[in-house]
Amino acid sequence: MQQKRCITAISHATLQYRGSLAVEADEAARRGQRCSSHYQKDHKIHGTKGASMTENKSGENQTARLRRLAEERSRESASETARTMAEQDYQLLVHELQVHQIELEMQNEELRMAQGQLGESLAKYSDLYDFAPVGYLTLNREGLILEANLTLAAQLGIERGRVIDTPLWLYAAAPDRGKLRSHLDQVFEANERRTCEVRLQRPGGPELYVQLDSIRVLNVDGAELCRTSATDISIRKEAEEEVNRVHDELERRVEERTAQLSENERKFRKLSQEFQTLLYAISDTLILLSPEMEVLWTNGGNALVLSEMVSDAVGQYCYKLLHDRSALSEDSPVTRCFDTAEKAVAVVTHNGAVLDIRAFPIKEADRVGSVLMLVSDITEKMAMQAEAMQASHMASLGELAAGVAHEINNPITGIINYGQILINECSPESMEKDIGERVVKEGERIGRIVKTLLSYARGGQEEKRPTRVHVVLEESIILIQAQIRKESINLMIDFPDDLPEVDANFQEIQQVFINIINNARYALNEKYPGRHKNKRFEITGEKVILSDRQYVRIVFYDQGVGIPAHELSMLTKPFFSTKPFGKGTGLGLNITQRIITDHGGQLGFESAKGEFTRVIIDLPAIRSGYGVENECESSCNR
C-alpha cells in the first residue's frame, strides 16, 4: 500500500513538472512571436542587427531560468520522495525525465531553426524595403518622418539619416505644403487610403512630382502612424504637359478647320438648294436608277404621275413604274445604257400617256454605277401634231370637196332644171310630172349633201353663235345615214321641239356628234355583225338644271360591246383607244372632251362591259337669240 502511494506521488510530481515546463515553453514562444511582430512593425529600417542580438540574449536568459527552476523542483521532489520510493520507481522516473529532456531538446532545435528563418526573411524584407522603386516612409500625426527607405532619400537628394525626425512638409514646394497638411489630416481622420500629388524640392535640382498614397495604421503601443509610399510621376507629368500642349494645338487647328468646313458647308448647302430647286422646277421627271433597276432618287412628286398605284417612287423598280412588268426587258433604254455605257432613247406608252425616255450613264471608274433617266410626257405634243395632221388632211379634203362640189353642182343644176321643165310642161296627173318631181327632189338632196360635206371639210372657221342642237344633229346624220342604213342599225332620235339654243361653234359640235356616232356604230357592229333586233342606237335630248343653270343634255345610247369600268376614266386621254391597233387613233374622244370643255359643257360616260354604253353631253343653254331654222343653209353658203 505504501508502495502504491509512492508511485502515485512520483506520477503526480512528474505531471506537475511536465505542465510547468509546457507553460514556460508556451510563454517563451509567445514572447518570441511578439518580439518578431514588434520588429516587423516598428523596426524595419535601422537597428536590425541590434534587435536580433537583444532577442538572442533574452532567449538565453529565459532558458537558464527555466533550467534553474527545473533543477530546484527536481531536488525538492527527490528529497521528498527519496525516502518512500523503491529502486524500481527511481528507474521509471529517470526514464520519464530522459524522454522529456529529449522532447525539450527537439523543441529547442525547432525554435532555433524558426529563429534563423525569421532572420533571413527580415533581411530580405529589409533589402526589398530599402531598394524598392518607390519611396516608403512612416509619419506621425505631426508629420515627422519616423522611418524612410533609401529610395525616398534619393528622391529628396538627402542622406537618410538627415531625413529621420524632420517634417515632410519641409521638403514640399511652398504652393503644395497646404495640400500636404490637408492630405495628412484626411488620412488620420478616415481609415481608408488617400492619394495626393505634390512637388518635392531637391537641393540643387529640379522639383520632383510625386504621388503620395497613405493609410493610417497602429503600432504595438497603439499609437497612430501614417504609412506612405511616394511614387515618382515626373515623367508622367511631363508627358501630360506635352499631351495638353498638343491637345491645345489640335483644338486650335480643329477650330480653324471647323470654321473653314462650316463656310464650305454653307456654300455647299446654298449650291445644293439652288440645284435642288432647279431639279424640282423641271416639269419633266428625273429618276436615278441603280444597276438592279431600283429607284434611288426622283425630283419630287413629278414621278408620281408615272403610276397612280405608287405612292413613293423611291425604292420601287423602273419596270413597275413605266412598263407595269415584273422585269425590265432587254430592249429598255435603261438596260441598253447599262450595257453600252452610252445614251439611250425610247418612246413608250404608259397609262394612256406617251413618254419620251432618255437614259444617261453615270460612270464610276470603268463601269456604269447608275443611270439618270429623263422622262418627258409628250402626249400633248403628239396630240398637237396629230391635230395638225388632221387639220392638214381636212384642209386637203376641203379643197377636194370644193372641187367635187363645183363639178357636181353644175350637172345637178342641169338635172334639177330638166326635172322642173318636166313638171312645168306635163299635166298634173301624168307620170312624167311625177318623175320630174322625183328628179328635182333627189337632185336637191344631192346638192344638200355636197354643201354639208363642204361645210364639214372647212371646219373651225366659224365663231360661236346661238345654235339649235337638233339642227346640228340632223346635218351630222346626213353624212353617215347611208352607213347606218347599210349596217342595219336601228336609229331612233327623240328631241323635243322646245329645247333652248346653245352658244356653239356649229362645225365643232358637228364633229363631236359624228365622232360619238361612229364609236357607237363600231360597238354595235362588233357585238352584232349582221342584222339583229337589239342592234339599236338611240339619241335623245332634254333640258336639265345643273348648279342652278339650264343645260341641254344630249344622250347617245347603244347596246354594243360596252367598256370595262377601269377604262372609263382613261377614255379622254390622248392616244388611248379601246379599238384594236389600226382601227383607232385614240384622239377622237380627247378632241371631243376639249371641244365640250371649250363650250363650257360636260362630257360623261356610263357603260357595262358587254351590255351598253351611254355618252352624256351637257351644253349650257342661252335664253335669247335669233332663230336658227335654216342653220345648215347659212353655214353652207359662207
pLDDT at position 78, please? 59
CB contact at 8 A, 562 and 612: yes
Between CA 347 and CA 228 the distance in angstroms is 91
For 163-179, the DSSP string reads HTTSBGGGGB-GGGHHH
205 phi and psi, to 5 degrees?
A: -145, 175
What cell numbers appear for 119 in the block? 532572420
Domain spanning 282-376, CATH class:
alpha beta
Q: Which strands form 536-546's sheet, in the order they lie side by side? A: 490-494, 536-546, 549-558, 612-620, 602-608
**378-458 adopts what CATH topology?**
Helix Hairpins (1.10.287)
pLDDT tens digits for range 599-637: 999 999 999 998 999 999 999 998 654 443 344 344 444
Residue spans of the domains in the chain: they are 2-130, 135-232, 282-376, 378-458, 463-637
pLDDT at position 293, please? 81
pLDDT at position 62, please? 61
CB contact at 8 A, 62 and 115: no
pLDDT at position 395, please? 65
Strands (E), 365-486: 367-377, 465-467
pLDDT at position 632, please? 39
pLDDT averaged over consecutive 10-residue blocks of the chain (638 residues)?
Answer: 44 49 48 42 38 44 69 66 61 83 87 87 84 92 92 91 92 92 91 92 88 92 92 92 93 93 92 84 84 81 45 52 50 84 83 80 87 83 71 66 69 81 84 83 76 60 81 86 88 90 88 90 90 91 91 94 84 70 66 88 91 93 54 40
As separate numbers, helices (DSSP H) first and strands (DSSP E) second, the chain gives: 15, 17
**Do the strands 205-218 and 224-232 form a parallel or antiparallel pair, or are they unpaired?**
antiparallel
**135-232 adopts what CATH topology?**
Beta-Lactamase (3.30.450)
CB contact at 8 A, 188 and 224: yes
What cell numbers appear for 286 in the block? 428625273
Between CA 95 and CA 10 the distance in angstroms is 12
* Dihedral of alpha carbons 562, 567, 573, 576, sign: negative
* CATH architecture of the domain with range 463-637: 2-Layer Sandwich (3.30)
Asked if the domains 135-232 and 282-376 are classified in one and the same CATH topology, the answer is yes
pLDDT at position 303, please? 44
Nearest residue to 194 via CA among 162, 165, 229, 158: 229
Task: For 143-155, give one letter per residue: b (16+ CB within 10 A) or e.
Answer: bebebbbbbbbeb
3 phi and psi, to 5 degrees?
A: -65, -40
